[in-house]
Every structure is written in C-alpha cells, then in structure tokens.
C-alpha cells in the first residue's frame, strides 16, 4: 500500500469524525481550520500499525 493513499483515507475519516462533535457549525472557516489541525494531530499520534488497521477497516466498510 502506498503511504499517501493510506494517509488520504485516514485523514478524510478523521475530519468526518471531528464533524460529529465540533463546536463551530455556524462558522465554516473556523471549523475547517480546527478540523484540519485536529485531524493532523490525531494522525501523527497513531502508529503505522494503527493507521494501517484503520485504513483496512475503512476499506472494508466501503466495500459493504
């Protein structure tokens, strides 16, 4: 697997996950900035094994 593909999928998931509990729904610019920063931070905290496992779960979920 290419790391860029895994990063893209996991980052997309983390950003969508953040939208579930964000506080700035009426301020889209602020929301996007916080969402991106949070997703990057969470991605960096994951180990390579965790990233790959999450990627596999996402792919499996998308196939169903």
CB 62 within 8 A of CB 56: no
Grouping H, G, I as helix, E, B as strand and the rest as coil, residue 38 is helix
Q: Give 10-residue mean pLDDT values along the chain (64 residues).
A: 90 89 74 90 96 94 80
pLDDT at 36: 92
In this prediction the pTM is: 0.81
Q: Answer left, alpha or beta for residue 30, where phi above 0 means left and psi between -120 and 50 means alpha.
A: alpha
HSE (CB half, 13 Å, CA atoms) of 16? Answer: 7
pLDDT score at 25: 66
Using alpha carbons, select from 13, 3, 1, 2 the residue that is nearest to residue 54.
13
Contacts by 45-49, CB closer than 8 A, 24 or more apart: 46/10
């Amino acid at each position: 697997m290419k790391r860029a593909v895994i990063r893209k999928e996991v980052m997309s998931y983390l950003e969508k996950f953040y939208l579930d509990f964000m506080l700035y729904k009426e301020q889209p610019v602020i929301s996007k900035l916080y969402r991106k920063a949070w997703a990057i931070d969470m991605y960096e905290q994951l180990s390579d094994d965790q990233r790959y496992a999450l990627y596999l779960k996402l792919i499996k979920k998308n196939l169903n």
